[in-house]
Amino acid sequence: MTRVRTSGLAAASVGLLLALTACGGGNEAEAGGSEEIRLWLAGSDTPQELRDYLVETFEAEHEGMSLVIEEQDWSGLVPRLQTALSSESQTPDVVEIGNTQSPTFTHAGAFSDISDLVDELGGDDLLEGFVEAGTVDGDVYAVPYYSGARAVFYRKDLFQQAGVEVPTTLAEFGDAAVALQQANPGGAANFSGFWLPGQDWYNGIAWLYSNGGSLAEQDGDAWVGALSSPESQEGLQQVQELFANATSAPRDADSAEPWVPFNNGEAAMFSAPTWARWSIDLPECNQGVDPDDESEAAQAALAEQQACNEERTGIFPLPGPTAGEPATVFAGGSNIAIPAMSGNQEAARDLLRIIFSEEYQTMLAENGLIPGNSEYADALGDDVYAQAALAAALDAQLTPPAEKWADVEAARILEDFFQEVASGADLAEASARADQLITDTLA
Amino acid sequence: MSAPRTSSAPVLPPAPPRAAAPPVHPDPPGERRPAPRRRSLRSRLGPYLLLLPALVPVAVGLGYPLVRQFVLSFQEYGLAQQFGRPAEWVGLRNYTTLLSDPYVWGVIGRSVLFCLVNAALTMAVGIAVAVLMTRVGRGARITLQVGLLLAWGTPVLATMTVWQWLFDSQYGVVNWLLAEPLGLTGMRQHSWIIEPASFYLVATVIVVWMSVPFVVFTVYAGLLQVPEECMEAAQLDGANAWQRLRHLSLPMVKPVLLVVALLQVIWDLRVFTQIYVLQRAGAPTRETHLLGTYIYSLAKEFSMAGAMATIMLVITFVLTVFYIRRMLKEEV
């Protein structure tokens, strides 16, 4: 980095990073001009079959136009959009964005107003919290694409050996986790009743929300941190107990890949979006199939392996404070919007119409994603995974729809805070400090 | 990010040992004739013309962002401004906000300390290994060189992934080694990055490990230029190995050492990738920010980030002005 040494600026390297990432996708389409529509999808959650459907349908309806789908990585999406969306030549025409990230861009004026289109796309059936995250002063700029709520996976055999039943209330859940941890039926060296790493606030806030607490509250025009409210404190108290007595997960880990310790026999439960079922790979079920092997025998062995894993694993939505009601968990998922800089507004709106058509929404549901239009959620099916996903999503809640919420996430304030909670910090003091940071960041 | 370091190649050829072995000037006397006046003007301009191809990219690639950063630092410029809202001039407000925040001073203090400790350690280890390379046999030297080159040539993110796994609290080999063969069972789940002090210890190990090869190769090349005769003469006069190194070799390669130390200070002050990756590995972010990562964390508020980067520029200048003056003096 001698090039920048006289300035010695990390800012320069930031710029460099932005420039590099901005080149990741996008430039190749410029030649196509207005005949080409570009859709940015985030991550690999949208299956190939759905992408093909979009391209075919769009191109059949628009003679002479083509749809190009470019996949963007979730990590670093915000800085990439920062540069791409403000440039007429770089911007995609339709863009998927994380639900908690969308307020930052809607407030900045990065998206086109699509209020007049909302009724056509599903109106009141659209997922409510997501629409709120895409709304500024009553105008809608971003609509829900899909949602995926978290549910708890557990090892049936360990539950049985420890004499623990599937919990029906949040308090029972805590007791079950502690009991499992103490029983350690598998005899693993470093056993967790419930896998809860120190920085995993995505799962931790379920206790906050379920007790009626929140991360930040609107006070007039300003947002203030709300971790110190009595309701939040009660939830945090329960989380701290879990950290102390129900988990051996490292304090310096986050919510990434919770199935690793689960597969290793080091955890009896973990909480994750329901598609985590495909990542469960218990040693006693593993058939040692080469992942590149596409023969029929290998496929059969894999199917058998998956069936074996699913037989030994159970799933339930995190229970709420009263029996029969699920907890209020964090709603993961994404929104979709039309960048204001796009030169193809009409075609982009047509693409949104296709995405919110019955066919496409049903396809989303069939692939295990809760579709943006809840009317079509029935297509999720009725196996235990779909049921758990639906029950969890019923009452799921987003992060506060504050303009600068993405800054709070970027500054990793909640990661730091939950790590402190996990380290046994004084709750009132740590919460007051974190509240101050949240208030300052959102101001 | 190790690749750009090769662009410092111009400093590699060490200055010839001035006092001991005057370089031979094989200029044939025929060319010493005084040139006509017309040519002398051109030859006076010549060097400046040759500088142009280097100056233009520097002005475009470095000057423009620098000016832009400077201008931004006096405005209010965030995401909304990037999407077309007019930027407001705020004078020195960004600077006063930053400099009146005790947290910012904490970051500055930590960064300077981290930079000085790392630069000193890197220089010490680097010089020691360079001296070692002049003493050992061919096989050992080649092994050392290959090892150093690998450490230097591997992409930073790849090495960071390895380091991260070495120090992982759940499955890391460092904890395993401490717990199993060495019997420190309390270290089985130890988190190396959750306490700032121990975080910086790990970061220092990694940063020094990555920077040492550059120092070794440069200093080793310098040491090779120390004339054999001087060393022999000193040996005959009864100087032992340490005295020969201390009073002969090191003073002779001093210009090289100064340049390398200067670069180390600059590099270690704006260390970014290693800290950023370690933070993402689960460290408390706010307590472990150094200047580089702190500016990055401000990047949504471009004007704040610009002001902080300008402050960092001043710090870099203050830290290095002493070296640069010394270097210029040496060259006169």
CATH number for the domain spanning B317: value is: 1.10.3720.10
Residue B28 is assigned to a structural domain of this protein: no
B305 vs A11, A261, A415: nearest CB: A11
- Mean pLDDT to the nearest integer, A142-150: 88
Note whether A86 contacts B82, CB cutoff 8 Å: yes
Q: Flag whether B236 is in a domain.
A: yes
At the topology level, CATH places domain A28-148+331-394 in D-Maltodextrin-Binding Protein; domain 2 (3.40.190)
Q: Provide, as residue numbers in chain A, all residues whose Cβ is less than 8 Å from the Cβ of B283.
A: 252
Assess A312–B contact: CB distance below 8 Å, yes or no.
Answer: no
Query: Which residues in chain B have Cβ-Cβ distances shorter than 8 Å to A410?
Result: 297, 300
pLDDT in tens, A399-409: 888 888 888 88
Can you give the pLDDT at residue B16? Answer: 43
Nearest to A353 by CA among A48, A38, A102, A61: A61
The average pLDDT across A337-361 equals 93
The count of C-alpha atoms lying within 13 angstroms of the C-alpha of B218, restricted to the half-sphere facing its C-beta, is 29
Contacts B299 to A, Cβ<8 Å: 11, 14, 79
> What is the band of B213 on the pLDDT scale with cuts at 50, 70, 90?
very high
A200 Cβ under 8 Å from any chain B Cβ? no
B24 pLDDT more than 60: no
Residue A10 to residue B295, Cβ atoms within 8 A: yes
Residues of A in contact with B297 (CB under 8 A): 410-411
Chain B residues near residue A197 by CB distance under 8 angstroms: 282
Residue B191 to residue A411, Cβ atoms within 8 A: no
Inter-chain touch A9–B69, beta carbons under 8 Å: yes
Tokens (6 digits) for A442: 């959102």
Q: Which domain holds residue B159?
A: 110-298+308-331
Looking at A88-97, A395-404, B14-23, B166-175, which range is the least confident one? B14-23
Tens digits of residue pLDDT in B98-119: 999 999 999 999 999 999 999 9
Q: Do the domains A150-329+404-442 and A28-148+331-394 match in fold?
A: yes
Query: Which member of A1, A8, A419 has the closest CB to residue B4?
Result: A1
Q: Give the pLDDT confidence score for residue A47 in this predicted structure.
A: 86
Q: B63-72 — which CB contacts under 8 Å span 24+ positions?
A: B65/A7, B65/A9, B65/A11, B65/A12, B65/A15, B66/A7, B66/A9, B68/B306, B69/A7, B69/A9, B69/A11, B69/B306, B69/B309, B69/B310, B70/B306, B70/B310, B71/B306, B72/B302, B72/B303, B72/B306
pLDDT score for A172: 95
| Domain segments of chain A as ranges | 28-148+331-394, 150-329+404-442
- Percent of chain A exceeding pLDDT 70 equals 92
Mean pLDDT of A74-100: 87
Mutant choice from B170, B278, B303, B324 vs A, greatest count of A C-beta within 10 A: B170
Among residues A123, A124, A97, the alpha carbon closest in space to that of A111 is found at A97
The pLDDT score that the predictor gives to residue B257 is 92
Determine phi and psi for A269, rounding to 5 degrees. Answer: -140, 150
Q: In chain B, which ranges are E strands?
A: 75-76, 88-89
Instruction: For residues A420-425, give the mean pLDDT.
Output: 94
Query: Is the CB of A252 less than 8 angstroms away from the CB of B279?
Result: no
For chain B, the domain total comes to 1
Helix (H, G, I), strand (E, B) or coil at A196: coil
* Lowest-pLDDT choice from A378-382, B122-126, B234-238: A378-382
Instruction: Give the separation between CA A87 and CA A18, rounded to whole angstroms.
Output: 13
Mark yes or no for CB contact B61/A3 under 8 Å: yes
- Given a cut of 70, is residue B214 above it in pLDDT? yes
Residue B1 lies in a domain: no
Q: What is the mean pLDDT of chain A?
A: 86
pLDDT score for A9: 38
ipTM of the complex: 0.77
The more confident residue out of A440 and A295 is A440
DSSP state of A76: T
Beta bridge partners of A67: A37
Give the whole-angstrom CA distance, residue B195 versus residue B193.
Answer: 6
Q: What pLDDT does residue B332 have? A: 59
CB atoms A410 and B312 under 8 Å: no
Of residues A394 and B161, more confidence is placed in B161
**How does pLDDT run across A168-222, given as a tens digit for each residue?**
999 999 999 999 999 998 888 889 999 999 999 999 999 999 999 999 999 888 9
The CATH class of A150-329+404-442 is alpha beta
Alpha-carbon distance B11 to nearest alpha carbon in chain A (angstroms)? 11
Identify the closest residue of chain B to A86 by CA–CA distance. B83
Size of the A and B interface in Cβ pairs below 8 Å? 146
**Do β-strands A94-98 and A135-136 pair in parallel, antiparallel, or remain unpaired?**
unpaired
